[in-house]
Amino acid sequence: MQKLVKNHVFSLIAWILILVVSLIALPNITGLTRQHSGVSLPQDVQSEVAQSIQTDWGPKQKNTYQIAVVFNKQKGKLTQADKQAINHTVANLQEHQSEYGIKQVLAPDENIATKKRLQSKDNTTWVMQLNVAKKHAAINEVEEQLTNAVKTTGVSTYVTGADVLQNAFSDSIQEGIKKTELITVIFIFIVLVLVFKSPIVPLVSLLTVGLAFITSFSLVTNLVEHNNFPFSNFTQVFMIIVLFGIGTDYNILLYDKFKENLGKGQTRYQAMKDALKVAGKTILFSGSTILIGFAALGLAKFSIYQSAVGVAVGVAVLLLVLLTLNPFFMAVLGDKLFWPVKEIPKEHENKMWHGIAKSSLAHPIIYLLILAVVAAPFALLYSGHLNYDDTAEISNDNPAKAGMLVVKKHFPAGMAEPSTLYIKSNHRLDNEADLKIIDQLTRQLQASKGVAFATSVTQPYGENIQQLYVNNQLNTVNNGVDDARTGLGKVSKSSQKLATGANQLQTGTNQLQSGTSSLQAGATELQNSSQQLTSGLNQLNSQLTNSSQGSNTQAEVYRKSLSRNLSSVPGLTKQQKAAVMQAANAALNESMAGNANGSLQSSVGSLAAAANQVSSGAANLAGSVGQLNSSTGQLSTGAGQLATGVPKITTGVDEVNSGLGQGAAYLTGLASSSAADTFYIPQEYLKTDMFQNSIKVYLSPNKKSAMLMVVLNSDPSADRAVSRVQDLSLMAQKSLQGTRLDKATVAMGGESAKIADTKRIASDDFVKTAAIMLVGIGIALIFVTKSLLQPVYILGTLLLAYFCSLSITEWLVKAILGNNTLTWNTPFFSFIMLIALGVDYSIFLMTRYRSLDHGKLSERILKACGVIGTVVVSAAIILGGTFAALIPSGVPTLIEVALAVIIGLIILVFILPLILPAAIKLTYEPTFRKKSRKNK
């Protein structure tokens, strides 16, 4: 048992059990990385406010992936057959929406708006927009399903969009990590073999560091899954690089001291204890400093920066593993750890570090001035311009990236990732007053510099709907006024004719009235005559009754008497008189023949009855003529009034016509003025199908939020676009002041707005986090060096190396990779890696310096530089090599961080033995200070 304890066997068993549990508990890394691949910003920034409004927009957009399907004819234009094939594909997706989890489809050939905006002007490319439910499947599965579903004969198809591109970025990081892991392990093994000339040390070192990585990574990912621990695409890769880098450095320091002790003749247990005491102390100091540096990142607000806290967890586990598991291998293997080497070489000095330190101590001021002159241009030439386009991290060969590039080529540059302005009110917006405000804002956006077009509920095509503007409506009114004036002119002419007719009517009615009076007199005379005739006929009848046979003489007398009586009747016509006389002659003839008395009597009776009827008719005629005479009088009076009133009507019509002429002139002037260029939507137009479709797209289901889509002329990730959306958002907020929407929430969403917020948050957080990190490391250095000035020298050296490396990296990236700017993450990650890891070498040096307790300060620091130089150079090669393993990943951020750290490490290797010895001599050595005061 004592031997087991002495050999630290229980440590080995404990770590094996921990490793097994860690492997079993390890969650799905790929899914976890996808879930946390996006940049998470504070909830109060503009782009996040816009995202929250969009998320709550409605069931068709809430919790959905926004995906674009691109149909492109690579050679020539889309033919009619191509368009039919595309429409067939679109129809197929629409028919199987539930199968693919599709919540909303916006087809390129659906309506006028989509034809104008989703079909390229060069007739080579169509774009279909989809919203797919997140609960349907993971984004990689959705992408795969849609890629197969949208394949269309005759055209190239791409599935792209923000969510798909983010997934592609995550995949590229994961692929890069796989390459990095393998290259890192191979590189470290080779370097350790070269350093120790043994295969055992590299295997043991990789085993301990690998165990630390797996254990810590399992712990971090479980914290992420269950406790919302900060995590990002970069967490895993930086944990690998840092743990394998510094873990190998610490192992070199520990094994080198163990090897040195064995070379002094110590037993393996003695050598192990002394190595843990001396090198272990240095490792603990260095590791704790790095731990503090990375832990300080937990105070950052920015999720990407916070995600580096996982490295602090890894460093803590690494220290435990190295200081508890390494003793087992040293105690059990002893000098066999360095097999096949048999002779253990004694400690030797690094000639380069010794030479640099010696020269610096001889002429400290001169060397520091030379260093300042050489380093100043590198530190000052850094431009600070950064690329915030995450799609730059994705290869152009990636289908999602290729699809986005096709859209950028055939549509306005901002079409691939349009900006969206959201307006959220506490009341409904589907009314004339609010729609007028929205339309005014839309037109302001359209007229703004850098905007290709803007669409909204009032302008779904990105163009004015002419019927909804006052000038168009005034033109319609003016046309009506012109028609009215023409009609009134006709009325005026007709009224003049009416006046003439009225005068004529009055004259006619007067004449009619005179005629009816005469007619009435005649009717009265007719009535009297008919009464006389009736009386005569009655007498005649009586005579006929008394006379049975008449003579010619009497007959003649009767004829003459009848003729006289008939002549006295003014109402009888000649035909009537002739008929009566004919009947009388016939009767007389019959009487004269001796057989007519009865017949004549009968005829005279009939004639008397007819005379009675004539009398009655004459009476009726007299009554009717009286009524006619009365009506004619009334007509005459009315005609007179009409003749008097018509001129007034004519005058009134002329006045109205003149007024309309003046009104028409006013309306014409108004229609051509800027005042008429105003939106007005009639209530009935709101209810039309066309406008209701626009409302469904651009207003939320509760009608209390509106969105305006803004497409810029420039690339959404370019500085110009980022600056532009900030100006547009500010303009929108000012435009709504003093209106019904004064209290509404206004937020700009989209890639450009997100970059603007990211840029501001990242910049502010970088400064704050860097300050916290430097303060934390500085406090740790005070305890390590037991000095207030030495931490300042060390941190100053690290900052000088950082700024010089960043400037050189920017130049190399531009010259070799063809990128004009560094990615936005590069400065931050380069800073934390170089500062946190570079401080190790300073601690190695200062710890060794403090361990020497004899001789002058300059002699001690010179000795420390010579001895620790080999360790530092070897450690720098190891760490630089692990970061070099990031270069084959193909991810720009990882490549640039690798270059910056490697360059920074190279700079540190040369300036540490120059600055620190010179600073110590200038500050602490009494002799030099006395000489300096004497020279003054």
* pLDDT tens profile 817-858: 888 889 988 999 999 889 988 888 888 888 888 888 777 888
Q: Which of 511-520, 540-549, 696-705, 747-756 bottoms out in mean pLDDT, i.e. has the lowest?
A: 540-549
* Count of alpha carbons within 13 angstroms of residue 309, beta-carbon side: 23
Q: Model confidence at 597, in pLDDT bands (50, 70, 90)?
A: very low
To the nearest whole percent, how much of the chain has pLDDT over 90?
A: 31
> How sure is the predictor about 548, in pLDDT bands with cuts at 50, 70 and 90?
very low
Distances (CA, A) of 284 to 238, 311, 459: 21, 16, 66
Q: Which helix (H) or strand (E) holds 683?
A: helix 683-686
Residues 332 and 324: beta-carbon distance below 8 Å: no
pLDDT recorded at residue 601: 53
pLDDT at 278: 87
User: Distance between CA atoms of 91 and 884, rounded to whole angstroms?
Assistant: 50
What is the C-alpha to C-alpha distance for residues 235 and 33, in angstroms, rounded to an integer? 9
| 705-712/386-387 β-pairing | unpaired
- What tokens does 219 get? 């712990």
Long-range contacts: 493-502, Cβ < 8 Å, 24+?
495/646, 495/649, 495/650, 495/653, 496/646, 496/650, 498/642, 498/646, 498/649, 499/643, 499/646, 499/647, 499/650, 502/639, 502/642, 502/643, 502/646
> Which pTM was predicted?
0.74
Q: In whole angstroms, what separates CA 186 from the centre of its chain?
A: 46
Q: Which residue has the higher pLDDT, 864 or 601?
A: 864
700-707: average pLDDT: 92
At residue 891 the predicted structure's pLDDT band, cuts being 50, 70 and 90, is: confident
Is 50 exceeded by the pLDDT of residue 440? yes
Q: How confident is the model at residue 875 (pLDDT cuts 50, 70, 90)?
A: confident
186-205 mean pLDDT: 87
pLDDT at position 595:
44
**CA distance linking residue 445 with residue 808, whole number of Å:** 42
Tell me what pLDDT residue 554 has: 57
Per-residue model confidence (pLDDT) at position 386:
87
What average pLDDT does this structure show over 305-328? Answer: 93
Q: Is the Cβ–Cβ distance between 274 and 266 less than 8 Å?
A: yes
Compute the average pLDDT of residues 704-728. Answer: 90
563-591 average pLDDT score: 61
Q: What is the pLDDT averaged over residues 516-523?
A: 60
Write phi, then psi, for 895 (nearest 5 degrees). Answer: -65, -45
Q: Write out the two tokens for 679.
A: 């939106």
Q: Is 900 exposed, middle or buried (0-12, 13-18, 19+ CB in 10 A)?
A: buried
Which helix (H) or strand (E) element contains residue 604? helix 597-671
Hey, what are 290's tokens?
């790095």
Residue 817, pLDDT score: 82
The token duo for 848 is 């060794």
For residue 73, is it left (φ>0), alpha (ψ between -120 and 50) or beta? beta
**For residue 362, is pLDDT > 60?**
yes
Edge-to-edge strands of the sheet including 451-455?
451-455, 705-712, 419-424, 745-749
Q: Which residues pair with 68 in a beta bridge?
A: 129, 160
> Where is pLDDT greater, at 197 or 639?
197
- pLDDT band of 638, cuts 50, 70, 90: low
Rounded Cα distance, 323 and 811, in Å:
41
CA pair distance 176, 886, nearest whole angstrom = 7
Mean pLDDT along residues 262-272: 87
Instruction: Name the pairing type of β-strands 386-387 and 822-823.
Output: parallel
pLDDT at 519 over 50: yes
pLDDT tens figures, 450-466: 999 899 988 888 777 65
Indicate the pLDDT class of residue 174, thresholds 50, 70 and 90.
confident
Tell me which H or E stretch contains 262: helix 233-263
Residue of higher predicted confidence among 549 and 424? 424
Instruction: For residues 427-444, give the mean pLDDT.
Output: 91
Indicate whether 144 pLDDT > 90: yes
| Nearest alpha carbon to residue 171 among 383, 416, 400 | 400
Q: Whole-angstrom Cα distance, residue 29 to residue 52? A: 27
SS3 736: coil
pLDDT of residue 739: 92
State the pLDDT at residue 570: 55
- How do residues 30-43 score in pLDDT, each as one tens digit? 888 877 777 778 88
What average pLDDT is seen over the chain? 80
Q: Which of 351, 344, 389 is nearest to 823 (CA)?
A: 389
Kind of pairing between the strands at 156-160 and 745-749: unpaired
Say if CB 103 and CB 61 are below 8 A apart: yes
Tell me which long-range contacts 665-671 makes (C-beta under 8 A, separation of at least 24): 667/474, 667/477, 667/478, 667/481, 668/478, 670/474, 671/470, 671/471, 671/474, 671/475, 671/478
pLDDT of residue 472: 52
Q: What is the pLDDT of residue 407?
A: 92
Higher pLDDT, 134 or 560: 134
Beta bridge partners of 746: 423
pLDDT tier at 600 (50, 70, 90 boundaries)? very low
* 669-690 per-position pLDDT tens digit: 545 554 455 777 777 778 888 7
End-to-end CA distance of the chain: 70
Q: What tokens does 359 get?
A: 């020269």
pLDDT of 66: 87
Alpha carbon 589 to its chain centroid, in Å, reads 123
Chain centroid, CA 65 distance in Å: 13
Residue 311, token pair as written in the block = 């490295």
Alpha-carbon gap, residue 577 to 621, rounded angstroms: 20
Give the per-residue pLDDT at 81. Answer: 94
The per-residue pLDDT for 550 is 45
Name beta bridge partners: 338: none
